[in-house]
Amino acid sequence: SPNRREEPFACCAKLGIRAQLSSPLSPLQSEEMPEGAARFCVGHEETAAVDMAESYVKKLCTTLMDAVTDRDPQVQEQICSALCALGEAQPGETLRACERYLQRHEKLAHPYRAMILKAVEAVVRSHISNLDKDMARAIILLASSEMTKAKDLVPDWQQAASSVLVAVGMRFINAVMEELLSRFQPGLLPHHFVVQTLASLAASNVFGMVPFLTSILSTMLPMLPMAKQDVTRVVFCSALRHFSESTLEYLANLDQAPDPTVRKDTFSSEIFSAYDVLFNHWLQSREAKLRLAVVEALGPMSHLLPNERLEEQLPRLIPGVLALYKKHAETFHVSKSLGQILEAAVNVGSRTLEIQLDALLAALHAQICVPVELSSPLVVSNQKEVLRCFTVLACFAPDRLLAFLLPKLDTNNERVRVGSLQVLRHIINSAAAQMEVRKLFILSSMRHPLLDTNNKVAVTGAQAGPVQGHLLPPMGAGAPAPYSQCRRPGYSEHPPKRQGLGSEDLPADSVRAISISTLYLISTTVDRMSDVLWPYLLEFLTPVQFTGALTPLCRSLAHLALKRQEAGADAFLSQYEASANLPSPYAITARLLVVSSDPYVGDGRGAASLRLLHVLHQRIHPLLGPRWETTIPRLVQHLDECTEETLSRKEWEEKLLMFLRDTLAVVSDNTWVSQLSLEMCKQLPCYNGMPQEKNFLYKCIGTTLGAASSKEVVRKHLQELLETARYQEEAEHEGLACCFGICAISHLDDALAQLEDFVRSDVFRKSVGILSIFKDRSESEVEKVKGTLILCYGHVAAQAPRELVLARVEADILRNMFQYFSTKDPALKLCLVQSVCMVSQAICGSAQAGAFHFSWKAELVAHMMEFIRAEPLDSLRTPLRKMAMVACTLLVSLEPPLEEQMRAEVTHGCLHSVMALLPEPEGEDASDRKALYLDTVHALEDLLTSLLHRNMTPQGLQIMVEHLNPWIKSPRSHERERALGVSACLLRYFLEHLHVSALVPFHNLGLLVGLFSPRCADLWPATRQEAVGCIYSLLYLQLGYEGFARDYRDDVAEQLLALRDSLVHPDLSVLFHTCHSIAQIIGKRLPPDQLISLLLTIFEALGDPDKNCSHAATVMINCLLKARENILQERRGIVWPWWLGSL
């Protein structure tokens, strides 16, 4: 197989190296011989070992080259790699073996000869410094013969041989040139690859080749008219291009050249003669490849033309090159050559070039306006060469160039405007000296492009921003490009993907992204921009439409602020009153704090905003300096340590609110606090449509009002918040409620009084509640107002000091909530339930909760049960059912205890509401519905365990199981599964909280075990496993009542765990065998006095509709009868009559 064939070749090099490392004599042999004999033997053996190694390498190379004809390309590649590796160990022998092999195998096909030649080239390049003259001469002759053996072109083979000559020529240039010149005779067209090799040598060994160029050119010139085939002409053009480039490089580095007397005019006459043939004859060819080869050569050749000849040729040369733009789609080579010609013309001080300027500018501008596709490297490279041409012209005739470019900025053509801006941006950088004196002229022409509404033009103008910044006069001349483009409409938190200017559809986000990136570049790199940007950029900080630019904006402002502080500038934020456009310190504080609540959007705006706040701390308030020096770096460090996925939003918001509370405490100035709260309230409408930021701003307002000492200020702001809130947006309900709750921490009476006033206002004066400021609102909107107020009461109860809230729960909070419990609106119901939960939690959290008599407890539980009963049983779509059970759970724990009938109604009603739910069908939101269902079941389990906690006795457990009994025996599998799961949860809770002060019997153990035992064979595997878990808990409960410690583990009971795992997917025989084993365990651990009740309970399962369960009951009864026969004989008067009656 191919893989097996590759292995030996991959190891050949290692074998050769091992042969080389073999020791001629062992140490023992040399020690035993006399000194003279040892030296003789060692020398003889070393010579023999070297000969053996060389012979081995030769054979190995021959074997490898014999296998090069393998058809598998991977094998061929391995052979070449092995030859190269052998060449690294034994270069001389490997090269000699390759040379002899090619000479002896004349009929070896050229693809395989090319492979061997490539290996030779690799070895030569690696060991050129160690190559001796004889080997070099042999390799030269071999490569020359291989290259010219075939008269026709065989590119792979001949190129490989040519590359060998070029590699040897890096050191033995004279020997290589001697061989090549012998095949480059006057009057005869040379072999194609002889010319190409001369060109490659000129490119690779400049100092070695240039001395030969005079004789080469003198021989070549007469050959040019003889070349009739296009392919021959192309190779001559390539050679002339490389000869010219080598000459120019030689002349540019005369201090390192072997012959520093060489001058440009040494080659001028020959180059002009060649130029005449190329330009006047070959450039007119119809073959595109030849035309491009000619124009590529003309560029470097123009630098070697005599000055007067170049000046004479320019009127024909430039139009001739420009004409090629219309003949070729790929114009990179044309533009590159044109740039070289223009440089040559400028270097000689050409006067005729000015006459060509109009045509040049028009042609070059047309090229720059061609859309650039980043996926096409030649198109991108062409644009770079065109810009290079513009640089040459900008240095030669800057006024003519600007007079041509600047009027085009006002044209209606988008591509013309974009192209002109690109050129302008480039020449400002590349021809800085010429543009500096014309800066006012340029800036005055840039006004319209900066305000352009076209996205592509705007992007290019924005990218010119840093350049304009350098051109600005010392006191500034208006804002550069990016700042005007920051005003573009639209808002996006996520930066768009980068696109080229050639894209047909450039979104506004791209313009904004480029503009805001340029913003930071200008503010940090252009020294003169500080006075221009500092007052101007502050205007962009608070308007919400610029949120997408906040991160670079904050970074720029922070940099500028630090720079001004270092310079000792005092006009920082103190001038905000003098200018209506500059934001106040309160506005800056509120804005930066709010945007920090979502810290990772917009490329990390949270950290940028906090750092800016840190820089401005002394100007926000004089007292904040020392405190913010420690608190803000901690916040930024927390962001650095987290990611968007790992950061807890709730925890982060609490950190920010703690930072705000700390700030307000340090300032401790009621006027300052009032101004800050006023500014926060003003900013609320700005965040409409941004619920997360707006909700956090509500929390900030509540925190700030909590620090205010003026009750009038607090009441006024709370009233305004209630009147101006957007109640139709559900996301805002929570924010307003949180605001009231946080404010109530310090102003409980004021918050309750303001809510009371609002409840008594015109909004709720009539039943429909549509009066006063709400007269235009529908009844559904008024329901939303009610829901928000109810949430406010809940948050006030949850946040207010515990020692104060108990006295106001019933009189001030619940009294205003109770009038809405008759509602049918689901949203209002949910608000009521949430508030009841918060009120209950507040009472539970109070130190006086045990002594508090909650007189409205039973009524609240009754309302919660009404909500639960009203929920449909065919679906589970809202969390109302779950939240109502959570509320009942909290209420059950309060005093006084519920009456027995109420407890029974709660247990029965909640079980029915969950157990009877139909299984949810699969769908798109199946995962969300499943999560809601699991949360609801957990809420039910918590409620039942709280009820059980009130009566932690066997009788209390029996009552709970009796409520579950109908569902345990239900004919519907999903109901049985749910009931067994809840039963298992109750038994685990009872076991975990079991506290036996005296040894008492667990009198209903047999009844409970008998109820769960037959379910071990239920149709559903989950039900079977839960049933075994219930029996496991019951047996340990019995052990607990017998006095065993809670951590005691019984070997017999522990066997149930292994049996439970075997009930997942067993066949019927395994299933009933497992039931038999479970019955044996029960029989061993059940007290004798519980056996009768156990059997009587299992007897009832004989008629179970699930045939598996009835069969399992038979198996278990049979097992128990055999295991406890003696006890049953004593009580047969009780068992047999009942059993016969059952049958």
DSSP 1016-1074: GG-SSHHHHHHHHHHHHHHHHHHHHHTT--TT---HHHHHHHHHHHTTSS--HHHHHHH
**Torsion-angle region of residue 490: left (phi > 0), alpha (psi -120 to 50) or beta?**
left
Q: Per the domain annotation, does 596 fall within a domain?
A: no
Residues 312 and 357 placed together within one structural domain of the fold: yes
Q: Per the domain annotation, does 467 fall within a domain?
A: yes
Residues 399 and 519 placed together within one structural domain of the fold: no
872 to 355, 822, 876, 918, 1137: CA distances (angstroms): 91, 18, 8, 10, 46
Q: What is the pLDDT of residue 1141?
A: 58
What residues make up the domain containing 328?
A: 306-445
| Spatial distance between the Cα atoms of 415 and 502, rounded to a whole number of angstroms | 9
Exposure string over 883-908, b if 16+ CB within 10 A, otherwise e:
bbbbbbbbbbebeeebeeebbebbbe
Q: What is the pLDDT of residue 307?
A: 93
Q: Per the domain annotation, does 91 fall within a domain?
A: no
Domain boundary among 490, 522, 544: 544
Q: Per the domain annotation, does 821 fall within a domain?
A: no
Q: Per the domain annotation, does 37 fall within a domain?
A: no
1028 class by beta-carbon count within 10 Å (0-12 exposed, 13-18 middle, 19+ buried)? buried
Give the sign of the dihedral formed by CA 366, CA 372, CA 377, CA 381. positive
**Residue whose token pair is 């939003």:** 649
Residues 1060 and 1083 placed together within one structural domain of the fold: yes
Give the sign of the dihedral formed by CA 133, CA 135, CA 141, CA 147. negative
Question: In sequence order, which residues have a C-beta less than 8 Å from that of residue 337 and are 6 or more positions away?
Answer: 295, 296, 298, 299, 321
Q: In degrees, to the nearest 5, what angle opens at C-alpha 14 toward C-alphas 12 and 15?
A: 65
Q: Per the domain annotation, does 257 fall within a domain?
A: no
Q: What is the pLDDT of residue 720?
A: 93
Residues 374 and 504 placed together within one structural domain of the fold: no
Residues 1012 and 1101 placed together within one structural domain of the fold: yes
Percent of the chain whose pLDDT exceeds 90: 55
Exposure string over 410-435, b if 16+ CB within 10 A, otherwise e:
eeeeebbbbbbbbbbbbbbebbeebb
CA atoms within 13 A on the CB side of 1117: 21
Q: What is the pLDDT of residue 13?
A: 43
Residues 423 and 458 placed together within one structural domain of the fold: no
Q: Is 411 helix (H, G, I), strand (E, B) or coil?
A: coil
Q: What is the pLDDT of residue 768?
A: 42
Q: What is the pLDDT of residue 453?
A: 53
Residues 419 and 457 placed together within one structural domain of the fold: no
E strand or H helix at 1105: none
Contact call for residues 1037 and 991 (beta carbons, < 8 A): yes
Q: Which residues of the chain have pLDDT under 50?
A: 1-51, 461-462, 465-506, 571-577, 766-776
Residues 389 and 407 placed together within one structural domain of the fold: yes
Residues 1141 and 1009 placed together within one structural domain of the fold: yes
When computed from its CA atoms, the radius of gyration of the chain, rounded to whole angstroms, is: 47
Residues 495 and 436 placed together within one structural domain of the fold: no
Which letter does DSSP use for residue 578 in this model? Answer: T
- Each as own residue / partner, the long-range contacts of residues 672-677 (CB below 8 Å, 24 or more positions apart, any chain) are 672/621, 673/704, 673/707, 673/708, 673/709, 674/708, 674/710, 674/713, 675/584, 675/586, 676/586, 676/589, 676/590, 676/704, 677/701, 677/704, 677/705, 677/708, 677/713, 677/717
Domain boundary among 495, 523, 544: 544
E strand or H helix at 324: none
Name the nearest CA neighbour of 83 among 112, 105, 104: 112
Chain centroid to CA 53: 58
Residues 1111 and 1015 placed together within one structural domain of the fold: yes
Contact call for residues 1024 and 1015 (beta carbons, < 8 A): yes
Domain boundary among 445, 468, 484: 445
| Spatial distance between the Cα atoms of 592 and 615, rounded to a whole number of angstroms | 12
Q: Per the domain annotation, does 659 fall within a domain?
A: no
Please state, rounded to an integer, the average pLDDT across all residues of the chain. 84
Q: Per the domain annotation, does 394 fall within a domain?
A: yes
Contact call for residues 714 and 675 (beta carbons, < 8 A): no
| Spatial distance between the Cα atoms of 288 and 290, rounded to a whole number of angstroms | 5
Residue 654 is encoded by which pair of tokens?
Answer: 């609490």
Query: What is the number of structural domains in the chain?
Result: 3
**Residue whose token pair is 């490009």:** 481
Residues 536 and 469 placed together within one structural domain of the fold: yes
